[in-house]
Amino acid sequence: MSQSLPVSKTCVCHNLRDGSSGEAGQLFIWFPVPHALVKVIPFLKQAALDYALMQERSGLNVTCKPGQVQEVAAKIAHLLAPRELGETRVLFLQGMAQPQLHDFSDITSLQHFVERNESDWLIEMLTSERFTTYFQPIVSAQDTAQIYAYELLLRGLDADGNLVLPGLILDQATKADLLPQLDRVARLSAIAHASQHQLSGRIFINFIPTALYDPVSCLRSTVEAIDRAGIAHERIVFEVVETDTPQDLSHLKTVLKYYREAGFLVALDDLGAGYSSLNLLHQLRPDFIKLDMALIRNVDQDPYKASITEKLLEIAQALGVPTIAEGIESIGELHWLQKHGATFAQGYLLAEPSAIPIREIPRYPR
């Protein structure tokens, strides 16, 4: 029997902050063009902020009181055009210190600085590891009462214990460069909750390839957690989302090679959502294909969607790769997919994601 595992907090949130916005200090700002100063200086004067112009290039440093730097940076960011915002560089130093050579590695774009400071809620959530896992069954398309697997889905919890949906979390983590921390916590949370509920069948876990720099070191803790839980490797299926795959395909292949050599399976998620679907199918040769829910929606009524989905199913059948149709919400969609040979089915018609794994699914008539 597998044991329930806590999620390890080791190194999850190392280096999450650029600097404490709660302390006084100097905000150094370097603009790409002198014209930006014409926009910013009137605001500084109106706000009665102390500042000094830099002599060597277009820039200034603003003296910030405790807790003020975040607001100042955000207001300056709103004054700049999008390209100016992306190319403006900033550095925050506590006290009255001036930049030294070792500080230059901490210089970042104003856009990133603001987005990171706006991510305090996510940083606190990561630090406290206020996450849980929801379960959504994947069933046989031909006999929906047969549960084949569960997809494990990340949910956040705010300070009051209310659910925070994954879209908001992922969007903020992307903006603030926190994907590696989020991806690791999500994987370990999924494994811990799968162990806690003693799931049977296969377990589908999402992962973000761009969050992994070195597959061996980044995934070691995941493999160790799976082994401690006593979950057989062949039961784990890691899903790679097609639209999030890195342009460096060789990196993605390295990640998947590591997974496969460890005995795990791989699913290509959201097939049909992006422009490189068939090329990725050829390059990655996944063990499962998940059809994008946008294709499934009203597939029984839309001839364009039906034609595309039918061809994808035919290709998968010819290659001998099982297919999972996601996002099924109507009997009509399910019947169409049954008729055209989808292997597995998943969606709100069958079962919504839930904190406690659903063990019984109705057998929908053909």
Are the beta carbons of 336 and 342 closer than 8 angstroms? no
pLDDT in tens, 123-137: 999 999 899 999 999
Are the beta carbons of 97 and 154 closer than 8 angstroms? no
- 357 versus 272: the higher-pLDDT residue is 357
pLDDT of 18 strictly over 60: no
pLDDT of 270 strictly over 90: no
Name the token pair of 19: 């600097």
The mean pLDDT of the chain is 86
Tell me which of 103-112, 207-216, 224-233, 315-324 is least confident.
Answer: 207-216
DSSP-derived secondary structure letter, 214: S
pLDDT of 14 strictly over 60: no
- 272 versus 143: the higher-pLDDT residue is 143
pLDDT in tens, 59-109: 999 999 998 998 999 999 999 998 999 899 999 999 888 888 888 888 999
Residues 6+ apart with CB under 8 A from 361: 137, 139, 144, 145, 147, 350, 351
Extents of the domains making up the chain: 25-118, 130-345
pLDDT band (50, 70, 90) for residue 7 = very low
What is the DSSP annotation of 12-45?
Answer: TTTT--SS-TTS-EEEEEE-SSTHHHHHHHHHHH
pLDDT band (50, 70, 90) for residue 284 = confident
pLDDT score for 214: 67
pLDDT of 190 strictly over 50: yes
Helix (H) or strand (E) holding 172: helix 166-175
- Mean pLDDT score, 43-69: 91
pLDDT of 238 strictly over 60: yes
Report the C-alpha gap between 51 and 67 in whole angstroms. Answer: 17
pTM, whole model, 2 decimals? 0.78
pLDDT score for 243: 46
Give percent of the chain with pLDDT exceeding 90: 58
pLDDT score for 279: 76
Q: Name the residue with tokens 């034609």.
A: 307
Residue 94 CB-half CA count within 13 A: 8
Per CATH, domain 130-345 is 3.30.70.580: no
pLDDT of 20 strictly over 60: no
pLDDT of 6 strictly over 70: no
Instruction: Name the amino acid, one letter, at 270.
Output: D
Q: Which of 286, 304, 279, 301 is nearest to 343 (CA)?
A: 286
Residue 329 CB-half CA count within 13 A: 8
Per CATH, domain 25-118 is 2.130.10: no
Burial (Cβ within 10 Å: 0-12, 13-18, ≥19) of residue 143: middle
Instruction: Name the amino acid, one letter, at 56.
Output: E
